[in-house]
C-alpha cells in the first residue's frame, strides 16, 4: 500500500502587509488549500509567521517546516509566492539545496507556477530569489537616501526621541520633535551645572535625585549617559549625519555658546584622563573587561616576596576594591593574571601586525559586520510603519468608525511589536556609533611606528583607544573587538 505524500504549507505576512490587507494569512492559506485539493495532494499542515520579516530565517513557522522536512514527515512544501518563503537570495537557495532537495522534499510556488520536481523549476527558484534579494536591497537604499535627504532638511531620525524631547505626529504623517516640558528641564540643568564647574558625577547625582532619571542605573553608568547627552548637538538645535551637522527643525534646549563651552570642558577632561593613564603605562585602561562577569578591569599593584612591585589588570569583582563596580560574587577570572606590561604588549603586537599588513583589516571588518546588529535603516523603516499603523487605528477610534474593543487586540500587538523593534533599533544604533572607516583605520595604523619611536605614552594610549573598541580577558586568554566598520 502506497502512502500519500504529505504536503506542508507555509504562509507569512509582515506587519505592513497585514495593515494593507494585501497578503493576509487567511487568503494565502485558502489558496494553498485550493491548490492542493486541485492537485490531489494531502495537506498535512500550514505553518504561519504573522508579522515576521522575510529578511531572515529567525521565524518559528519556517523553523517548524524545516524540522518536519528533515524528519521526513513531509515530501513537498508549498507557498503562495516565493517571497513568502524569504526575501534573501542566500536563504532561499540554502532552503532549496540544503534542506528541501537534500531531504527528498520538493518545493512549489503557486504564483510563479513552478515545481522543483522539474529542472526548470529549480532554475527558476534561483532567478526569482535573486530578484527578491534585489528588491530588498533597493528598499534599504531608498530608506538610506530618504534619511540623508531628511537630515539635510533638518529632520531628526531615530527610533526613540532624545531625552528632553518627544515625538509628535504631524499632518503630513511624519514625526517631529517637540520639547518635553519635564525632561527638558533636567537636560537644561545638566548643561547649566556642568558649565558652572560641577563634576559629571555631581550632575548625575543631582538629576537622578531631583528628576528621578535613569532608574536602575548606578552612578557610574548615569555619568556615561549624561556625557553622551551633553555631547549631542540636537540640544543646540542641530541634527547630525556622521561628521556633518545641519540646522534642525526642532527648538533647541540650550544656546550654541553654552553647548560649545560644555563640550570644550568635556574634551579637556577626557584628554586629562587619557594623559593620566598614559603616564602610568596602562594602555588598556577603560578598554578591558572581564570575560566571566563582564565587569571592568583596572590596574592593581602589590609587592612580590623579593620586594619588587608588580602591576596587573584585575577584575573589579575579584579585587573588590570598589563595591559599586562588582558584578559577581563568584567571578572565575582569577586563575591567571598577566602583568600590565605583558597584557599591553600582547595587544600592541596585534596592532603591529595590522600596521604591517593592512589587508588583514578586511576579514576583521567582515567579521565585525556579521556580528553587528542589523542595519539601522531597516528597523527605522519598520518603526515608522508601526507608528503609522498605531496612528491609523487611533484615528479610526477617535472618529467613531471603530469601537475600542475592536482595536484593543491589534493595539496590544502593535505596541509589543514597537517594543521589539525599539530594542533592535537601540542595538543597531549602538553598533553603528563611533566606528572607524577602513581608510581612517589604515591612517591610524600608519602612524604607529612614529608614535612608538617618539616615546609619547599619551599618544600611544590615544592610538590604541582609537583602534580598539574593547578587550575581553579571561584567565590568560584575550579577545580584541576592533573599532572598524
What is the 3-state secondary structure of 386-399? HHHHHHHHHHHHHC
Domain's final residue, options 277, 306, 335? 277
Same domain, 327 and 247: no
In sign, the C-alpha dihedral spanning 397, 399, 402, 403 is positive
CA pair distance 433, 29, nearest whole angstrom: 43
CATH number, domain of 14, equals 3.40.50.1390
Q: How many domains does the chain have?
A: 4
Residue 169 within any structural domain of the chain = yes
Same domain, 17 and 106: yes
**C-beta atoms surrounding 369 within 10 Å:** 12
Q: Are β-strands 114-115 and 106-109 bridged in parallel, bridged antiparallel, or unpaired?
A: antiparallel
Residue 320 within any structural domain of the chain = yes
Q: What is the CA radius of gyration of the chain?
A: 28
Same domain, 461 and 314: yes
**Cβ-based neighbours of 26, under 8 Å, separated by 6 or more:** none
Alpha-carbon distance values, 163 to 215, 230, 392, 444 (Å): 14, 11, 26, 34
Same domain, 271 and 328: no
Domain's final residue, options 277, 298, 315? 277
Residue 413: the pLDDT is 78
Alpha-carbon distance values, 404 to 227, 396, 397, 481 (Å): 43, 10, 6, 50
Same domain, 17 and 120: yes
Contact, 203 vs 266, CB < 8 A? Answer: no
Q: Which residues pair with 244 in a beta bridge?
A: 241
Residue 282 within any structural domain of the chain = no
Same domain, 40 and 123: yes
In sign, the C-alpha dihedral spanning 132, 138, 141, 146 is negative
Model's pTM, two decimal places?
0.40
Q: Which residues pair with 166 in a beta bridge?
A: 178
Residue 237 within any structural domain of the chain = yes
- The phi, psi pair for 115, rounded to 5°, reads -135, 130
Residue 374: the pLDDT is 44
Alpha-carbon distance values, 30 to 45, 61, 96 (Å): 12, 17, 24
Same domain, 203 and 258: yes
**C-beta atoms surrounding 459 within 10 Å:** 17
CA pair distance 302, 307, nearest whole angstrom: 9
pLDDT in tens, 150-176: 666 667 766 678 889 888 877 776 778
CA pair distance 107, 75, nearest whole angstrom: 9
CATH number, domain of 265, equals 3.90.1750.20
Spans in the chain with pLDDT lower than 50: 1-2, 17-21, 277-279, 369-374, 432-434
Residue 1 within any structural domain of the chain = no
pLDDT in tens, 220-232: 778 878 888 998 8
Cell numbers for 476: 590568560
Residue 402: the pLDDT is 64
Contact, 324 vs 219, CB < 8 A? Answer: yes
Contact, 475 vs 336, CB < 8 A? Answer: yes
Domain's final residue, options 277, 304, 336? 277
CA pair distance 460, 454, nearest whole angstrom: 9
H helix intervals, 340-435: 340-356, 361-371, 376-398, 404-431
Residue 283 within any structural domain of the chain = no
Same domain, 136 and 257: no
Same domain, 172 and 271: yes
Same domain, 424 and 438: no
Residue 157 within any structural domain of the chain = no
In sign, the C-alpha dihedral spanning 191, 195, 198, 201 is positive
Helix, strand, coil percent values for the chain (each to nearest 5)? 55, 15, 30
Same domain, 207 and 235: yes
**Cβ-based neighbours of 263, under 8 Å, separated by 6 or more:** 230, 231
Domain span at residue 401? 376-431
3-state secondary structure 447-459: CHHHHHHHCCHHH
Which residues are annotated as catalytic? 14
Residue 256 within any structural domain of the chain = yes
Same domain, 383 and 453: no
Amino acid at each position: 500500500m502506497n502512502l500519500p505524500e504529505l504536503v506542508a504549507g507555509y504562509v507569512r505576512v509582515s506587519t505592513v502587509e497585514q495593515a494593507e490587507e494585501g497578503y493576509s494569512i487567511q487568503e494565502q492559506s485558502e489558496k494553498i488549500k485550493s491548490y492542493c485539493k486541485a492537485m490531489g495532494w494531502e495537506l498535512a499542515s500550514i505553518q504561519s509567521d504573522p508579522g515576521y520579516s522575510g529578511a531572515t530565517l529567525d521565524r518559528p513557522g519556517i523553523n517548524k517546516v524545516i524540522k518536519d522536512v528533515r524528519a521526513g514527515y513531509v515530501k513537498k512544501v508549498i507557498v503562495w509566492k516565493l517571497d513568502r518563503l524569504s526575501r534573501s537570495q542566500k536563504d532561499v537557495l540554502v532552503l532549496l539545496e540544503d534542506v528541501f532537495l537534500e531531504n527528498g522534499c520538493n518545493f512549489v510556488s503557486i504564483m510563479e507556477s513552478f515545481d522543483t520536481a522539474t529542472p526548470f523549476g529549480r532554475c527558476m527558484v534561483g532567478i526569482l530569489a535573486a530578484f527578491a534579494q534585489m528588491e530588498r536591497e533597493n528598499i534599504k537604499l531608498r530608506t538610506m537616501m530618504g534619511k540623508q535627504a531628511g537630515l539635510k532638511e533638518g529632520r531628526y531620525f531615530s527610533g526613540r526621541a532624545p531625552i528632553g524631547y518627544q515625538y509628535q505626529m504631524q499632518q503630513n504623517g511624519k514625526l517631529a520633535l517637540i520639547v518635553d516640558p519635564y525632561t527638558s528641564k533636567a537636560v537644561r540643568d545638566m548643561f547649566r551645572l556642568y558649565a558652572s564647574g560641577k563634576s559629571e558625577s555631581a550632575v548625575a547625582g543631582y538629576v537622578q535625585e531631583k528628576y528621578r532619571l535613569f532608574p536602575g542605573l548606578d552612578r557610574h553608568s548615569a555619568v556615561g549617559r549624561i556625557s553622551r547627552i551633553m555631547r549631542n548637538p540636537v540640544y543646540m538645535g542641530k541634527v547630525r549625519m556622521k561628521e556633518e551637522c545641519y540646522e534642525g527643525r526642532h527648538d533647541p534646549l540650550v544656546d550654541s555658546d553654552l553647548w560649545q563651552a560644555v563640550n570644550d570642558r568635556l574634551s579637556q577632561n577626557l584628554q586629562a584622563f587619557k594623559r593620566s593613564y598614559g603616564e602610568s603605562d596602562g594602555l588598556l585602561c577603560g578598554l578591558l573587561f572581564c570575560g566571566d562577569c563582564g565587569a571592568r578591569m583596572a590596574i592593581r599593584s602589590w609587592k612580590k616576596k623579593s620586594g619588587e612591585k608588580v602591576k596587573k589588570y584585575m577584575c573589579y569583582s575579584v579585587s573588590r576594591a570598589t563595591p559599586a563596580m562588582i558584578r559577581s560574587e563568584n567571578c572565575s577570572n582569577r586563575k591567571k593574571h598577566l602583568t600590565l606590561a605583558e597584557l599591553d604588549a600582547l595587544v600592541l603586537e596585534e596592532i603591529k601586525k595590522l600596521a604591517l599588513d593592512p589587508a588583514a583589516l578586511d576579514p576583521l571588518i567582515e567579521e565585525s559586520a556579521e556580528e553587528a546588529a542589523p542595519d539601522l535603516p531597516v528597523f527605522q523603516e519598520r518603526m515608522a510603519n508601526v507608528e503609522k499603523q498605531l496612528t491609523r487605528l487611533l484615528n479610526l477610534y477617535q472618529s467613531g468608525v471603530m469601537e475600542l474593543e475592536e482595536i484593543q487586540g491589534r493595539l496590544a500587538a502593535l505596541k509589543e511589536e514597537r517594543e521589539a523593534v525599539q530594542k533592535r533599533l537601540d542595538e543597531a544604533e549602538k553598533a553603528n556609533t563611533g566606528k572607524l572607516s577602513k581608510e581612517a583605520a589604515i591612517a591610524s595604523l600608519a602612524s604607529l611606528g612614529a608614535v612608538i619611536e617618539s616615546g609619547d605614552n599619551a599618544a600611544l594610549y590615544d592610538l590604541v583607544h582609537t583602534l580598539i573598541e574593547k578587550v575581553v580577558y579571561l584567565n590568560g586568554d584575550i579577545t580584541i573587538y576592533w573599532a572598524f566598520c
